[in-house]
C-alpha cells in the first residue's frame, strides 16, 4: 500500500489558515475532585446551519492535543459533502476544558492576572463533559443528533451518553477505550515525567516565555512513536540517514540535528520541537491525568445508538478495546456496530481514513 504522506505532517495539518473561534462564558464550574473556577470560558467553532427543529446538531470532540478547528485536523471527515456533512448538519467542536486553545486551562489568566498554573484544579473527563454541555446550551443546543470523536474525544462522548442518557441520539467512537490499560497508563506517565523532570517545569508555575519546552518536546517524540506503526515508520524512514541539513536549516532545524543522523531521529526532533509552539505543558499534564483516571464500567442506562471503529495496526488503542465497547453497548440493550479497519498507519489512522471508517459513518449518520 502506498504510504500516506499526511501521516507525517501532524503540525502542518493542525496549522490554522484563519482563526474562526467563538467564545461562550459558562459561569462558575465546581470540579469533581475539588476546587472551582468562578468564570470558565469555552472556545468553539461551528459549521452549517441549525435546522428549525434543532434536530441536526453534531458535536465533535477532539483528541488530547487537538482544538476546536475540526475542519482542519479532521479535514477528511468533517466538511461539505464529507462523512460528517456540514451542508446537512450543524457541526460544533469545542476546545476541551483544561486545554490551551481558547478554553480555560492552566495557562489561562486567573483573576489576579497571573496564570492558574499549579492552582488549576485537577480535572476529570466528567468535568470536561459538563463544560461542553453548558457551552452547547449557551449557543442554543440542548440535544444532539450525533457526537463523534476519537481517542480522548471518544472517551468524553461515552461519558456523556452514560451521564446524560437521551441527549445524544447517535455516537461514533473511533480508536478509543472504556478505560486505560496498565500499558496506556504507563505510556502517559512516561510522557508526563519528561515534562515534570524538566527543570523549567517549576511545579507548573513557569512563565509563558520560558516553558519546559525540552521536556514537552521529548514527550511528544514518545507520542509520535505511539501514534504510528512499525510498518509505516519502516516504509517512511527505514535505516535511512540524513546526508545534509534540511533546506530550512537556517531558520527551523532542531538544535539536535547532526550530520548522518538517522532520518527518523531528525523527524522526531523536528515534530517534538514544533509541538511546543502550539501546546501548553500544563494542559498536557492535567489532561493525561484525567484520561488515565477515567473509566466506563458500563453503558447501562444509555439510550444512544453506537458506531465503534478501530484499526488493526493501532497498538496504542488496540481493536479489542473497541470490540469491548461494542459488547458493552449490546449488553446495555443499545444498538451498536463495530468496524475494524485494516490499514497500516497506526493510531493516527482515525484522523486520516475517510474511505473505510468514512463509509461506515455515512451509513450511520445518513449522509
User: Distance from CA of residue 156 to its chain's centroid?
Assistant: 10
Look at residues 284, 306, 340 and tell me which one is the last residue of a structural domain: 284
Q: Indicate the pTM of the whole model.
A: 0.92
pLDDT per residue of the chain (367 residues) written in tens, 0 to 9: 666 667 677 666 666 667 899 999 999 999 999 999 999 999 999 999 999 999 999 999 999 999 999 999 999 999 999 999 999 999 999 999 999 999 999 999 999 999 999 999 999 999 999 999 999 999 999 999 999 999 999 999 999 999 999 999 999 999 999 999 999 999 999 999 999 999 999 999 999 999 999 999 999 999 999 999 998 889 888 998 887 655 544 455 556 656 678 989 989 999 999 999 999 999 999 999 999 999 999 999 999 999 999 999 999 999 999 999 999 999 999 999 999 999 999 999 999 999 999 999 999 999 8
Residue 206 included in any domain: yes
294-321 tens-digit pLDDT: 999 999 999 999 999 999 999 999 999 9
Per the structure, the complete domain to which residue 243 belongs is given by 185-284
Asked if residue 290 belongs to a domain, the reply is no
Same domain flag for 20 and 89: yes
Query: Residue 252 is part of a domain; what is its CATH number?
Result: 1.10.1740.110
Whichever domain contains 161, its CATH number is: 3.40.50.1820
Task: Give the whole-angstrom CA distance, residue 180 versus residue 291.
Answer: 7
Q: Are residues 164 and 303 in the same domain?
A: yes
Q: What positions carry a catalytic annotation?
A: 151, 314, 347
Q: Would you say 86 and 364 are in contact if contact means Cβ atoms under 8 Å apart?
A: no
CA–CA dist 347, 322 (Å, integer): 13
Work out whether the CA dihedral 248, 254, 258, 262 comes out positive or negative: negative
Tell whether 116 and 44 lie within a shared domain. Answer: yes
Amino acid at each position: 500500500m502506498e504510504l500516506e504522506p499526511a501521516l507525517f505532517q501532524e503540525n502542518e495539518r493542525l496549522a490554522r489558515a484563519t482563526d474562526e473561534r467563538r467564545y461562550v462564558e459558562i459561569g462558575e464550574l465546581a470540579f469533581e475532585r475539588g476546587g472551582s473556577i468562578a468564570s470558565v470560558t469555552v472556545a468553539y467553532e461551528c459549521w452549517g446551519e441549525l435546522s428549525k427543529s434543532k434536530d441536526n446538531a453534531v458535536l465533535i470532540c477532539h483528541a488530547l492535543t487537538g482544538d476546536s478547528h475540526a475542519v482542519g485536523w479532521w479535514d477528511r471527515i468533517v466538511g461539505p459533502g464529507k462523512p460528517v456533512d456540514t451542508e446537512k448538519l450543524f457541526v460544533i467542536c469545542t476546545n476541551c476544558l483544561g486545554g490551551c486553545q481558547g478554553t480555560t486551562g492552566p495557562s489561562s489568566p486567573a483573576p489576579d492576572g497571573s496564570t492558574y498554573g499549579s492552582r488549576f484544579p485537577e480535572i476529570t473527563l466528567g468535568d470536561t463533559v459538563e463544560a461542553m454541555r453548558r457551552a452547547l446550551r449557551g449557543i442554543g443546543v440542548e440535544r444532539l443528533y450525533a457526537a463523534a470523536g476519537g481517542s480522548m474525544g471518544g472517551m468524553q462522548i461515552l461519558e456523556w451518553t452514560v451521564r446524560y442518557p437521551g441527549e445524544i441520539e447517535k455516537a461514533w467512537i473511533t480508536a478509543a477505550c472504556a478505560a486505560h490499560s496498565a500499558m496506556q497508563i504507563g505510556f502517559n506517565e512516561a510522557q508526563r515525567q519528561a515534562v515534570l523532570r524538566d527543570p523549567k517545569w517549576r511545579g507548573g508555575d513557569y512563565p509563558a516565555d520560558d516553558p519546559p519546552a525540552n521536556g514537552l518536546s521529548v514527550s511528544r517524540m514518545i507520542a509520535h512513536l505511539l501514534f504510528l506503526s512499525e510498518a509505516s515508520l519502516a516504509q517512511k524512514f527505514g535505516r535511512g540517514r540524513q546526508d545534509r541539513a534540511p533546506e530550512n536549516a537556517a531558520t527551523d532545524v532542531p538544535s539536535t540535528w547532526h550530520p548522518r543522523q538517522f532520518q527518523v531521529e531528525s523527524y522526531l526532533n523536528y515534530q517534538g520541537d514544533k509541538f511546543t509552539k502550539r501546546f501548553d505543558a500544563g494542559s498536557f499534564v492535567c489532561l493525561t491525568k484525567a484520561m488515565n483516571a477515567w473509566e466506563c464500567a458500563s453503558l447501562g442506562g444509555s439510550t444512544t445508538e453506537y458506531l465503534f471503529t478501530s484499526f488493526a495496526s493501532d497498538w496504542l488503542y488496540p481493536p479489542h478495546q473497541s470490540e469491548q465497547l461494542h459488547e458493552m453497548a449490546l449488553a446495555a440493550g443499545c444498538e451498536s456496530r463495530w468496524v475494524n479497519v485494516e490499514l497500516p498507519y497506526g493510531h493516527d489512522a482515525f484522523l486520516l481514513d475517510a474511505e473505510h471508517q468514512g463509509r461506515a459513518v455515512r451509513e450511520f449518520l445518513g449522509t
